[in-house]
Chain A
Amino acid sequence: MIDQESDRYALERQVTLVELVDRVLNKGVVLSGDITLSAAGVDLVYVGLRVLLASVGTLDRLAAERTAEAAR
């Protein structure tokens, strides 16, 4: 169980990193006309959000199954 919680925490951290990078690079106010960034220049590890979230879902399902088993 502890492993599953730490797995979920690790996944949430990865989601948070993706969310952070997207906010800093793509949102926010632009006051100067000479922002010269292109997405191609971003050499950060962009993990697929869908894959991360699907993993979170799998962990939750396993946790729910175990809870159900324990209750039997």
Chain B
Amino acid sequence: VIYLYAVVAPAAPLPLVDGLEGAPAGERRIDEFAVVVSEHESLEPEPTEEAVLAHATVVDEVFRRGAAVLPARFGCVFADEPELASAVRSRGPELRRGLEAVRDAVELGLCVVGRTSPPPPLGVDGRSYMRRRLGELAEDDRIAAATEPLARLARATRRGHSVDGAVRIAYLVGADRVERFREELARIESAAPHLSLVCTGPWPPYSFSALGQEEASLAPA
């Protein structure tokens, strides 16, 4: 079977890197695209820490070459090359647009909580739920206002929450704007002592690789 790590715009040769279960990762051309894959007698990918790190390491190596890359989600397995090729071809136009959108950009992650936010409730009665939820909504507004300058520096932004309610934001930032982004972030940190922020990355553009439904929100720079 064939395990998929990423779809990329063809670029310099891939350095030698091990993928899942130590299998070497390699590159195949499919029309205008290249795919980074490893071959296995059989494989049922389990998301152990080792396997997740192996997947991420291959994607990182590919990303470091500087060419546009769409990371694959963990666990994409194909029976053989024809099946993989037909999957790529059937999504050709979306992949082309996706690669164009992330070209020369990196993903930066921001995790934020308000320092005054209430601790998670022990039980769930209606009243404490509503209070807590109102508190979260107000906190989200404050966080959105405080981080607005970062969104303006980004090509695109994705917002979400962790299961325990921390705000998580992913920014797609042009490589030439990463420095400005970090400066702006430092300014926000010192101006907003009521927020706890941790910035992660640069990541390959994992959060900006979903095809189809989310493309409409990819605003131009």
Point out residues on A near B: beta carbons under 8 Å.
Answer: 11-12, 15-16, 18-21, 23-32, 34-37, 41-44, 48-54, 56-57, 60-61, 64
Chain A interface, >50% SS class? helix
Say yes or no for B141: interface residue by CB 8 A criterion: no
Counting chain A CB atoms within 10 Å of each CB, which of B52, B72, B73, B117 scores highest?
A: B73
Question: What are the residues of chain B within 8 A of A25 when measuring CB–CB?
Answer: 47, 52, 73-74
Contact B206 A31 (CB under 8 A): no
**With the chains together, A21 CA to B211 CA distance in Å?**
20
The 6 closest A-B pairs by CB, nearest first: A57-B196, A28-B73, A23-B206, A27-B206, A49-B166, A49-B162
Interchain CB contact (< 8 A) of B75 among A35, A44, A54, A61 = A35
B74 touches A24 (CB 8 A): yes
Give chain B's interface secondary structure class. mixed
Chain B residues engaging chain A, CB cutoff 8 angstroms: 4, 7, 44-49, 52, 55-56, 59, 70-78, 83-84, 87-88, 91, 95, 98, 109, 111-113, 115, 117, 120, 162-166, 168, 193, 195-198, 200, 203, 206-207, 209-211
Name the A residues within 8 Å of B98 (CB-CB).
29
